Amino acid sequence: MITWEMIVPLIMGFAPTLGFCLLFHVPANHILPAALIGGLGWAAYELWTSTGNNKVIGCFLAACLVGLLSDISARTLKEASTVFSIPGIMPLVPGAGMYYTMLELIKNDFSQAAALGSETLFMAGAIALGLMVVGSVIRIIISIKRKIYST
């Protein structure tokens, strides 16, 4: 059953992704799928972290979902996957973590700054790793498929 706890994160990810689609000049017929991908990625992250799970793993899983949906959309709509993946990952970028890291540095609380900074870096790395893993797996599958059907 779909509840408000599921719909609100989807909307909260959809709205900023829509803005980034406009900012990055995504073609008009691809704005809705790209924004939906961002909304689903954010909803997956929120669903994972709302149960008390690790934020870094949540970023990785959400980035994997964004990468997979971006590739599917790119093949379906005959467009580059970056048109969908770049706006789609924007809600996941840990901007607040960067801000709070700098705030703690200004307050000379270096231990808290190190903790926040390392978590922020791990989250950014998880996003990059999630997109790379999905892209690599898809390339491997396509390569195997070509070898099977070429012989």
pLDDT for 139 equals 94
For the record, the structure tokens of 120 come out as 């922020």
- Residue 3: pLDDT above 90? no
Model pTM score: 0.91
pLDDT for 151 equals 67
Contacts of 130 (CB under 8 A, 6+ apart): 59, 60, 61, 62, 63, 64, 66, 67
Averaged over 42-63, what is the pLDDT? Answer: 94
Averaged over 63-92, what is the pLDDT? Answer: 96
Instruction: Work out the percent of the chain whose per-residue pLDDT is above 90.
Output: 89
Write out pLDDT tens, residues 92-126: 999 999 999 999 999 999 999 999 999 999 999 99
| CA–CA distance, 20 with 89 (Å, rounded to integer) | 10
Q: Is the Cβ–Cβ distance between 34 and 26 less than 8 Å?
A: yes
- Residue 2: pLDDT above 80? no
pLDDT for 12 equals 93
Q: Is the Cβ–Cβ distance between 136 and 105 less than 8 Å?
A: no
| CA–CA distance, 62 with 91 (Å, rounded to integer) | 10
pLDDT for 149 equals 85
- Residue 5: pLDDT above 90? no
